[in-house]
Structure 1
Amino acid sequence: MNNREQPENTEHSSIGNRSAAFDIAGAIEHIAHWLPTQGPIKDFIHHNTLHAVQHLPFHEGVAVAAKVFGARSYLPLAEYQAMYRNGRIKDFAIDWALQHTGYAEEAQRQLRERLFAHDDVSHYPPLSLANHGIRNAWINRLEVDLNSLAHPVVFRLLSNFLDQGISRWSLAKDGERFWECVLRLAQNSLLPLYPLNEPGIRELLSDNAEDVINSCLDKIVGDPTLYQQYVLEMQLAHPGWSGMVRIIEQTPEALLSRREISLKEMIALELAVELAFILKKKGLHFPRVGDMPQLNDVPLLKNGALRPKIPQHLKVWHEAMEWSLHSELLQALKDEPKPENGEKSQPDIQALFCIDDRECSLRRYLEEINPGIDTFGAAGFFGIDFLYQGLDDAYPVAQCPNVIVPKHLIKETNKQTENGKKNHGNHLSDLHFTPHSMLRGWLYTQTLGLGYALRMAWNVFRPSNKLPNIKTLSEVDSHSHLHLLRESDEPNEDGYLLGFSFEEMAERVSGLLRNIGLTQNFAPLVVVVAHGSSSVNNPHLAAYDCGACAGKPGAPNARAFAWMANHDSVRAILREKGIVIPDSTRFVAALHNTSRDEVTYFDMHLLEEQPVPGLQTYLKNFQVTMNKALQRNAYERCRWFELSPQTASAEKAHKHVKERASSIFEPRPEYNHSNNLYCVIGRRSLTRDLFLDRRAFLHSYEPATDPHGDILVRILSAAIPVCGGINLEYLFSRIDNSVYGAGTKLPHNVIGLLGVANGVEGDLRTGLPSQMIEVHEPARLLIVVEQSTEVLNKAVAKLGELREWIDNDWVRFVSCHPGNRKMYLYGSKGWETIHLPDDYQVPDAPRSEQVFAGQTETIPVHRLIRRHA
């Protein structure tokens, strides 16, 4: 075992080595490091589930996390062996994985033999703090089910205090902190707040939260060196609620209706509740945690409980699986014909899409059907970062990757109400944040509730392809107006600039165009296609929208980009920057609804105000092509759905996906990012004729224009956290859905518009539900960049904190030389030349439909030998 796999002293193992004086603030910071960072479900943003160990090499970090959370690190051995028997894991990939263990030849031989042995237990979670720590050992010794007693009380108070519109009776008063609210209920309520109504506990609550924590820990634990571990294990028993409170404490603006709360206050309440139940069950003289016999037999942080132990045979299997899948793309890129030299002719239409893997197939169909269409890919916020407040929005939301802090605010108004009349939305404005009486709430339930129940029953048995009482993304009124031009340089009361100056617009438009290599040969029509998703009865709806837009549909960004790129003043500045957009070129914004496979076109009236000869013909041709592409795209998606018409026509398949998105009992409106695997940053010629099975994030990039890697830094700064975050959340939710994922959707109940829980008093579930990942192959993202290693080295050096993603192998990073297609893998020892088997032939087919016909599993990369269809 090498030192990288078995470190004697690592940063994480020092947690808990504290002096007798308990530093509450410092302890909470350490504890919060392990909590999930998933915010309110309305803003579901994909991220690395194991962000807490991202500073460690991948396999080491996964092993450490397993000892904290009690989760599996890999798939069961039998699953890897089955993939090998089915040909999905190749012998050459096993050889590659064994060679990268660093073992001697004899040790590699012995490890290979172990790969094929029968083993049903090695993938089980190890002893962990969450399941086998001091708190659980003490609870078992007390014979008191403390979690089932304390959690309902704590969760009920948290959910009511933080409620964002479900409850018609607000628990919190204006400006009241959580701790103040608890004290008010415990000391002044006419009805006793059990178990905080006990005399000793009521007196204890008179102190501040910090004193309550110290007092309770002294009575429950006794040994100050164990305080932090006890509190950590207490939070690990419900990481969803703890993580949510921490997020709200740090970013209170994440809530529609703000609440003042801190993790310290939550910990103080829970300790007080625990102490109350213990006193009630065991009396004053109960054994403390620090008095337990054989305490050193329990995993202790101060004894190095988090020192990782990596099961080498499972690690080799996992790396072999990943390399088998990654090599399918690398082989296709290596063998792909080199682009022809000479100046490329101007296309009829250009379409700019988000890099989202679900757009990969739609781009392929557009190019198959109409060879006069060129497609590009970029992060779906299209370089326009801002806060956006739409017609129906109660508050502004960020429309950019989570790593960017926007400084501009864009508001939308209805053209018919711009005279100052307030526009009332159709759903968000109906959310209520003011207190209501209990009687009034009861009357609503008994009258309106019955009607809604009957309507819901009708929708269950007779679903239609229309969303009940909700506009689909493809039905939204596209004739509103975005206030994009800033009229004053004075920021508003929140410190945001209202709109952009022409110089700022040109900077953002030129930045995106240079990023994707579109600086000349503009087509007469450029369509900027954002994406979003619509479905009913789906609390995880935001997880289906655009990750580059912070989990929102990207329509505002597409509209903003098109408006800016069409404006004469912006184009004048662009000409000074060396980008000349012809007067005959027009940009049009659109939105692709990925669940229903429909497209909405925005601001068409602006084209009528500035007519261009022939533009309507190009637009009509694109719309006809797009409609055909959407039907074929739906047909391809249907192969994953068990109840879909597998042998039907594309038209029937399209009808089916629309019905799925509208069905109130459908847990799988779409499989979203399932099986995402690749991210290719380069010219479209690399992938244009490849069938990638909707598994690739595709970002356009012109390597010849980026000798210093500055463009790559901008691209990777968005692609790594967005695509990498999506990939790892799917990976870990698939590896252990019970711990890292949300479990099945079926028992989920929406709690306060904050998240989902099993039932009404469970912990908030983080990660992805099983219905989103059940077909997913859990492999790390392979990022292939069409650029030399010399330029990539310059770019990597400028990535800052994001560099740990590739330095520690949380994503795989490959250089594909733009001239000779030689490929190199980035690793801890530098660039490694990639050697692929010579006997592998990339399968081919004349059309996409012939590749996926009859297939219900993931499909290897194919070459399409003909584009026209």
Structure 2
Amino acid sequence: MTISAPHRHVPHPSVSDKTISTFNLDAAIDHISHWLPTQGPIKDFIHHNTLHSVQQHPFHEGVALAARIFGARSYLPLADYQKRYRQGRIADAAIDWAIDQSAAYIEDIEKFRDSLFIEDYRSHYPPVSLANQGIRNTWLTQLEVDLNALTHPVLFRLLANFLDQGISRWTLSQDGERFWDCLWRLVHNSLLSLHPFHEPTVRTLLLEKPERVILTCLDRIVGDEQLYEQYLLEMLLAHPGWSGMVRLVELNPSALLARRNISLKELIAVELACELAFLYLKKGHRFANIAQTPKAKAAPLLNDPHFKPKVPLRLKVWHEAMEWTLHSELLAALASEPPAGATKAATLAQALFCIDDRECSLRRHLEELNPAIETFGAAGFFGIDFLYQGIDDAFPVAQCPVIIQPKHLVRESRLSVTQDKRKGGGELQHLHVKGHSLFRGWLYTQTLGIGYAIRLAWNVFRPGGRLPDIKKLSEVAAHTHLHLLRESDTPTEDGRMLGFSLGEMADRIEGLLRNIGLIKDFAPLVVVVAHGSTSVNNPHFAAYDCGACSGKPGAPNARAFAWMANHEKVRALLRERGIDIPETTRFIAAMHNTTRDEMTYFDEHLFEQQPASGLQAFKDTMQRALERNALERCRWFELAPQSQNPKAAHAHVKGRSVSIFEPRPEYNHSNNLYCIVGKRALSRDLFMDRRAFLHSYDPGNDDQGLILARILNAIIPVCGGINLEYLFSRIDNSVYGAGTKLPHNVIGLLGVANGVEGDLRTGLPNQMIEVHEPARLLIVIEQTREIIDKALGQIGSLREWLDNDWVRFGCLEPGSHAVYFYRAQGWDRVGFEDSAPTPSAPDSEAAFSGQTHTVPIHKLVTERSPS
């Protein structure tokens, strides 16, 4: 039978008008969606606070509440903290400090301190939770029906095919079709019945609209409207990856390049209809609903006033002690007077890096090799926010933090006409065979398939030194042209401007230069260093790129900044604003490949008539710094060469990136811990083991805190989001993380799942966080408390991160080097009279050589000379 009109209303006797009028479904969906993950498609992997849903609570209370909802651990096992104490990585003074923070909840402090050292292998177990022991669990424990095992394979196949972004040759959805209409078509117009929706009662029910289907199913499955909302939440938390993805696509359809029309309400309706169909098939039409089971009300209820989190006090104190041990290392090092250095040599070059913690070590090595090179740090989009469309890109992508809505579009073109004559889809033509007929596909499989299988086997055992063509999709070609200067004020169909006006360019260059304090004393060469990452065995590649560029390589931003800063008319506008860039100063863009430790330099053809002075010398020094950086990274890799040979280490990290069986191309942000906002002199002589985000800032040029407020608006969500995603993925990788990479398959270019039918995994895989020390980020600002308070008054809702201790916040007052620790109630002075002195080392290699764990902060005391 063919039915031509969808959603024909058929009254259903099982739902009364009273039920419809008393339960507000839309409000319930809005409420429960607050608990769903907000991780977008894998192409736009943006680090964020995994527990954003409880960020309005103080950190420890929020973590405990999340544990009760999701069934996750809140802290490391007690034995892990005790082991760190025995190794000297948690100090007695830090334990005393942590106990003092929780003294109001401790009756006998001495007895409590002794209890910290009692062995306990169960205290870190997850508590009873909605996700695992809620009312929906009644189906498994009381009624002996595993609804997840029955419904998820059906639901996940439908979602994966409907939302598919290019893996499947044929798409399930028709043009403009909604998910609910798609299901209706499959159920009522298919020649073969769609199991289990062929069940007669459910098949008839699907003629209704989604809301009516939901209420009918809830009435039959749950039976008590007071339990409806909780049942829906527990159902969605059984597959949070798909639930969160659907909600994100519903609220932001542009998250998908191939748009799909779907809503969380439609997903709920489909899943409930699937559950009801299976229950009818398994139990008949007279099955008892949840409200009729004796133990339904005994399960934890979300709206129960007694449903309050219990913070495990011993684990909280141990965790605070671990963090304070690590945080106080930096504060003590910053509080001590910096060593008297030699007379500063003339600056030969300046390098502007992203604040990314992976650039912390590269900057240190570069300055060690040549102190005449001065480095700066800023958010990696370099203040140039735009949508970018490369030569082979079908759609433009945002090159700025997610909190910014870009209003400009920048397109890329080739330099010569001959380059444009290449036929096909550029790099994309390597990814698909043009013919898709049945016979042609069989022929390719039987002929070319054998050759590719042999090549795959060869690459597994003998990976080559050349990256495959997929590399081109994550890097920007070095010899192309960006259309940056606006030629017309007519906006695009989307209301965006093509390029920037000269005034807009000057605004952005001025903004960044003032933010980092570089408004005079320009070197002859200024290198703007973006960063990106390339590897072949890494579906989470976007998580390795620049977080300030929405998970993209920052090369377009670096190129845009250099081009704007070199433009004579832009410089003339800057000169009127008090920033005089000498005619002899040239800006050049580059990109650091953080996996391979390689540097690509862009647009060098522009300097044929006006050469960039000192560029070759800078390149030579940078190459040596990259090799040393690779050596420092190799101490974390078990298969890395044991010799202290920078060239061998460099060859090893390049080999890792092209190895198809290497799940750890790099450890990315592992062990990120600090963020320092101030002059480079504060941290230049510190070895911080690649743990610090470094943002340049001159406190003397910001008497109202306006610059600092702009910086905080960028670093709190970006650096704080990176830190917390690593922290929670490390604390409980099975719930907050993605588990091991080994069984992951990419599903529809949306995310990864275990096998081919699992839920989309959110968070970070184990291979990215296994060496990470899960401690909250400490942000230290070089500025007076009064000006910092002014800045905090301008950051709006971001202050919640600080007031609720989701990141820790400190102040180093210029001149006095007095250290203060921020609390919502005010500032606390931190003293280090009884602290051990910061250890020292003659150079970076002496600090990390032979170490396979994080190294405490060291002072680098040897006077360096230019090479």
Q: State TM-score, norm by structure 1.
A: 0.95
SS at match of 1:327: helix
- State the alpha-carbon separation in 1 of the partners of residues 641 and 129 from structure 2: 46
Residue by residue over 1:787-838, the C-alpha shift from the partner in whole angstroms, topping out at 9 and shown as x without a partner, is: 0110010001111011100010000000000111101011122101112253
Per-residue CA deviations over 1:200-244 (Å, capped at 9, x if unaligned) read: 111111111111111111110111111110010000000000001
1:335 aligns with 2:336: yes
Aligned residues with identical type, % of pairs = 66
Contact kept, 8 Å, 1:164 with 1:433, in 2: the verdict is no
* Equivalent position SS for 1:564: helix
Letter paired with 2:707: I
Instruction: Give the deviation of 1:430 after TM superposition.
Output: 6.2
The question of 1:682 aligning with 2:678 is answered yes
Does residue 575 in structure 1 map to residue 571 in structure 2? no
Query: What's 1:235 paired with?
Result: 236
Letter in 1 for 2:286: H
Matched residue of 2:395: which SS? coil
Q: Which amino acid aligns with 2:588?
A: V
- C-alpha distance in 2 between matches for 1:627 and 1:570: 32
Partner in structure 2 of residue 279 of structure 1 = 280
- The superposition leaves residues 459-504 of structure 1 with CA deviations (integer Å, 9 ceiling, x where unpaired) of 0011122212344699853110000011111210111111100000
Matches within 5 A, 1:15-94: 21-94=22-95
1:194 maps to 195
Q: Deviations over 1:635-681 (max 9, x none)?
A: 00000000000224100000000000010000000000000000000
Distance (Å, rounded) in 2 between the aligned partners of 1:473 and 1:627: 24
Q: Is contact 1:532–1:545 with CA below 8 Å preserved after alignment?
A: yes
**In 1, distance between residues paired with 2:424 and 2:350?**
37
Residue 3 of structure 1 corresponds to which residue in structure 2? none
Relative distance call for 1:592 and 1:807 in structure 2 (3 A) is same
Matches of 2:522 and 2:560, distance apart in 1: 19
Query: Does structure 2 retain, via aligned residues, the 8 Å contact 1:379–1:548?
Result: yes
Q: Is 1:125 matched with 2:126?
A: yes
C-alpha distance in structure 2 between counterparts of 1:425 and 1:539, whole Å: 22
Does the 8 A contact of 2:161 with 2:748 survive in 1? yes
Out of 218-227 and 409-418, give the one that drifted further: 409-418
Query: 2: distance between equivalents of 1:341 and 1:75?
Result: 45
1:144 maps to what in 2? 145
1:492-503 paired onto structure 2 within 5 Å: 492-503=492-503
Q: Which residue matches 1:397?
A: 397
| Cα distance between partner residues in 2 of 1:169 and 1:446 | 22
The range that moved more, 33-42 or 102-111, is 102-111
Letter in 1 for 2:273: A
- The range that moved more, 505-514 or 346-355, is 346-355
1:371-520 residue pairs with structure 2 within 5 A? 371-417=371-417, 424-428=424-428, 445-471=445-471, 477-520=477-520
Which segment is superposed worse, 436-445 or 115-124?
A: 436-445
Give 2:11's aligned residue: none
Aligned twin of 2:157: 156
2:104 aligned counterpart, secondary structure: coil
Q: Measure the CA separation in 2 of the matches of 1:644 and 1:505.
A: 45
Find the counterpart in structure 2 of residue 349 from structure 1. Answer: 349
Q: CA offsets, 1:282-302, max 9 Å, x none?
A: 000111111121333210122
Matches for 1:649-688 after TM superposition, within 5 Å: 649-688=645-684
Structure 2 CA distance, aligned partners of 1:450 and 1:626? 43
Where does residue 717 of structure 1 map in the other structure? 713
The verdict on how the C-alpha distance between 1:472 and 1:487 changes in structure 2, with shifts beyond 3 A counting, is closer
TM-aligned CA distance change 1:700 to 1:45, over 3 Å: same
Cα offset, 1:108, TM superposition = 2.3
Segment of structure 1 superposing worse, 27-36 or 665-674: 27-36
- Tell me the residue number matched to 2:742: 746
Amino acid at match of 1:58: F
Corresponding residue for residue 864 of structure 1:
860
Bigger shift: 717-726 or 465-474?
465-474
Is 2:542 the partner of 1:554? no
Q: In structure 2, how many angstroms separate the alpha carbons of the residues matched to 1:451 and 1:772?
A: 33
CA contact (8 A) 2:802 2:824 kept: no
In structure 2, what is the Cα distance between the partners aligned to 1:405 and 1:450? Answer: 48
Aligned to 2:633: 637
Matched residue, 1:823: 819
Q: Deviation string for 1:243-267 (max 9, x for gaps)?
A: 0111111111111211111111111
Q: In structure 2, what is the equivalent of residue 14 of structure 1?
A: none
- Listed one character per residue, the Cα deviations across residues 522-545 of structure 1 (whole Å, up to 9, x for unaligned) are 000000000000000210111000
In the superposition, relative to structure 1, how do residues 321 and 475 fare at CA in structure 2: closer, same or farther (>3 Å)? closer
**SS of aligned partner of 1:351:** strand
Match of 1:11 in 2: none
Aligned partner (choices 770, 774, 783) of residue 778 of structure 1: 774
Superposed, 1:242-391 pairs within 5 Å as 242-304=243-305, 306-337=307-338, 346-391=346-391
Q: Is the 8 A contact 1:257 1:433 kept in 2?
A: no
2:694 aligns with one of 680, 693, 698:
698
**How many pairs are equivalent?**
847
3-state DSSP of counterpart to 1:303: coil
Determine the C-alpha separation between the residues in 2 that align with 1:336 and 1:192: 77
Deviates more, 1:253-262 or 1:547-556: 253-262
CA contact (8 A) 1:138 1:292 kept: no
Q: Relative to structure 1, is the Cα distance of residues 667 and 340 closer, same or farther in structure 2, using a 3 angstrom cutoff? A: closer
Of residues 837-846 and 564-573 in structure 1, the stretch that sits farther from structure 2 once superposed is 837-846
Q: Deviations over 1:122-169 (max 9, x none)?
A: 110001000000001233211011101100000000000111111112
Distance 1:676 1:104, change over 3 A: closer
What amino acid does structure 1 have at the position aligned with 2:350? Q
- Distance apart, 1:427 and its partner CA: 3.6
Say if 1:160 and 1:290 are closer, same or farther in 2 by CA, change over 3 A: same
Native 8 Å contact 1:393 1:425 kept in 2: no
- Matched residue type, 1:549: C
Kept in 2: contact 1:466–1:659 (CA 8 A): no
Picking from 704, 708, 714, the partner of 2:704 is 708
The 3-state SS of whatever aligns with 1:841 is: coil
C-alpha distance 131-34 of structure 1, shift in aligned 2 (>3 A):
same
1:110 aligns with 2:111: yes
Counterpart amino acid of residue 254 in structure 2 = E
Relative to structure 1, the CA distance from residue 837 to residue 65 in structure 2 (aligned partners, 3 Å threshold; closer, same or farther) is: farther
How far did residue 415 of structure 1 move?
A: 1.3
Alignment gaps of 5+ in structure 2: 1-18
Question: Cα RMSD over matched residues?
Answer: 2.1
Which AA in structure 2 matches 1:673?
Answer: H
Between the aligned partners of 1:424 and 1:499, the Cα distance in structure 2 is: 27
Partner amino acid, structure 2, of 1:504: E
Aligned CA distance change for structure 1 residues 762 and 706 (closer, same or farther; 3 Å):
same
CA distance in 1, matches of 2:456, 2:634: 26
After TM superposition, give the deviation of residue 519 of structure 1 in Å: 0.1
Shift of 1:737: 0.2
Moved more, 709-718 or 328-337: 328-337
How many angstroms apart in 1 are the aligned matches of 2:630 and 2:404?
Answer: 34
Q: Which residue of the partner structure matches residue 99 of structure 2?
A: 98
Q: Which amino acid aligns with 1:163?
A: D
> Gaps (5+ residues) in structure 1?
1-17
Q: Alpha carbons of 1:487 and 1:296: their partners in 2 closer, same or farther (altered >3 Å)?
A: same
2: CA distance, partners of 1:451 / 1:567: 51
Q: In the TM superposition, what whole-angstrom CA distance separates every residue of 1:620-643 from its partner, at most 9, and x where no partner exists? A: 110000000000000000000000
Distance 1:319 1:43, change over 3 A: same
Which residue identity is paired with 1:781? L
- Structure 1 residues 393-402 or 511-520, which shifts more? 393-402
Q: Is the 8 A contact 2:339 2:861 kept in 1?
A: no
Q: Which moved more, 1:289-298 or 1:731-740?
A: 289-298
Give the deviation of 1:556 after TM superposition.
Answer: 0.2
The aligned residue for residue 564 of structure 2 is 564
Corresponding residue number in structure 1 for 2:4: none
Task: Name the SS for the 1:570 alignment partner.
Answer: helix
Correspondence 1:646 to 2:647? no
Q: Relative to 1, partners in 2 of residues 1:442 and 1:293: Cα closer, same or farther, differing over 3 Å?
A: farther
